[in-house]
Amino acid sequence: MATSRATGVLKYLESKKNLAGSACGVAGLALTLAGVAGAYWPVVVAGLYGAGALIAPPERTAPPPFDPREELGVLREDLGRLRAYVDGVELPSGAQEALAGLLELYGALLEPGWVADVLVTDPEAVHAVSRAVRQDVPESVDAYNRTRWWSRLTPGGESPERHLERQLGLLREEAERVTADLRETEARRQQTHTAYLEERGRS
């Protein structure tokens, strides 16, 4: 406890408030030496110290460091759990093939290496993949399972299989848009380097 108190005292001594207060207190001593403060110099020095401490900006606490690659690592684990979940679900052949292709695309985007390094630079792309893996695909499969059970009790109406295939198609389109955007990022990088080399050759 004594150590933590000593640490707190040291932190305050190094703080902006103490430094600003000390500067104002020194100004108060200067006024005293100049004969301005008179017999009330302790009050003047203390008052100026307090005023300096009050007007000093508050200490800024640095935000914790965040490595986006850690998010991708957690997302890879979630994708593994999603694959294990869908492996245990009975799906129509068309939907099963579409889902397998979709999960393969997510896996390729999240594969450790330069592709993931490109992905991690685009927060919106990371969010889209994360939302699909953690929310959209599980919800689509679970909703299909539930609706199929009710459809067996009361046949008729729109096919749950049709909804599932449509949902997976929309998710595939979204994943392909994300992939196209990342590809465009790399293409712009290549073009920028070409322009740089051409400019360097002319100079």
Q: Output DSSP code: residue 65.
A: P
What percent of the chain lies above the pLDDT cut of 70?
69
pLDDT at position 103 over 90: yes
| Residue partners of 76: CB distance under 8 A and separation at least 6 | 110, 112
Is pTM beyond 0.75? Reply is no
80 or 150, greater pLDDT: 80
> For residues 79 and 73, what is the distance between their CA atoms, to the nearest angstrom?
10
Output the pLDDT for position 124: 92
Mean pLDDT, the chain, integer: 82
The mean per-residue pLDDT over the stretch 15-37 comes to 68
Output the pLDDT for position 6: 56
Output the pLDDT for position 3: 58
- Residue-wise pLDDT for 137-161, tens only, equals 999 999 998 888 766 656 666 788 9
Output the pLDDT for position 28: 66
> For residues 114 and 169, what is the distance between their CA atoms, to the nearest angstrom?
27
Q: Which amino acid appears at position 154 of this protein?
A: T
The mean per-residue pLDDT over the stretch 94-100 comes to 94
